[in-house]
Amino acid sequence: MTQPGTTPTRPRRAAGCLQSIVVLAVILGLGYGASKIFGDDSSTSKSSSSSSDGKGGSWEIGDCGGPDPENKPDGYRAYDCDESGATFKALELKPASFMPDSIQCPAGTDLIIQVSRVFGSGDGKKGGGIPTHTVCGRNLSDDHPGDAGAGGGQLVEGDCISATAKEITCASAGAEDFKVLGLVKDKKECPAATTEPMQLMMAIGRPYDVICGGKV
């Protein structure tokens, strides 16, 4: 985290791309299809994450980032994709939101980064900064928990869940588990093959209220 009176370290990128901002890492962990936040808001966060991503609050699809060695354990910063520190690539960009359930990234998203701009001497790790947009990131490695059926990331069609709607890997699913056939607002919208429509508790901003479960 940049302290007042100091100059942030700028990652190497193309000219005109880099300025200092704060990035809040939102590592995905699904229970009932809702991501767990690792951000700045003390009422919801499990840990904090900040970074100089150097992009002045603006990312493009295909940009890369990775852990910030100067802001451990949860800081992230931008990197050129061929740099050794790069661990993920921007798969898609979404608007910023204070409601995590309203951010729905595409299948294959392994982590979500919420980007915020900090003005003056604000400390982003203590809740400063204004969210500007959200980056749906995909790992550069072969480890992709966000792929359908892999057991991580946001809940998507093709994932598998237990009888209590906990996401599991499809490879470990048994006779009592289900495959996600749809994510809908009303049970009547579930596809015909649905054997277990699961009504979820209300969550502001989430685009679905029912998980349509079918036999694996």
* Strand bridging mode 88-95 / 64-67: antiparallel
**Nearest-5° angle of CA 42, CA 50, CA 148?**
85
The pLDDT assigned to 197 comes to 96
pLDDT digits (tens, 9 = 90+) for 28-72: 333 333 232 222 222 222 222 334 455 555 789 999 999 888 877
Residue 100 has pLDDT above 80, yes or no: no
Among 66, 53, 47, 70, residue whose Cα is nearest residue 118: 53
pLDDT digits (tens, 9 = 90+) for 13-32: 333 333 333 344 443 333 33
The pLDDT assigned to 117 comes to 74
The pLDDT assigned to 120 comes to 60
- 3-state SS, 62-93, equals CCEEEECCCCCCCCEEEECCCCCCCCEEEEEE
The pLDDT assigned to 193 comes to 96
- On whether the CB atoms of residues 118 and 22 are closer than 8 A, the answer is yes
| Mean pLDDT confidence for 4-19 | 37
Q: Which residues pair with 214 in a beta bridge?
A: 179
Sign of the four-CA dihedral 10, 117, 17, 65? positive
DSSP letter for each residue of 24-51: EEE----BTTBPPP-SS-TTT-SS----
Among 104, 155, 62, residue whose Cα is nearest residue 146: 155
The pLDDT assigned to 72 comes to 76
pLDDT band at 11 (very low <50, low <70, confident <90, very high): very low
- On whether the CB atoms of residues 131 and 124 are closer than 8 A, the answer is no
Instruction: Give this prediction's pTM.
Output: 0.66
| Mean pLDDT confidence for 172-199 | 96
Greatest Cα pair distance in the chain: 62
Among 82, 73, 62, 93, residue whose Cα is nearest residue 25: 73
| Mean pLDDT confidence for 59-88 | 87
Q: Residue 48: what are its φ and ψ, rounded to 5°?
A: -115, 160
pLDDT digits (tens, 9 = 90+) for 120-177: 654 444 445 677 888 899 999 999 999 999 999 899 999 999 999 999 999 999 999 9
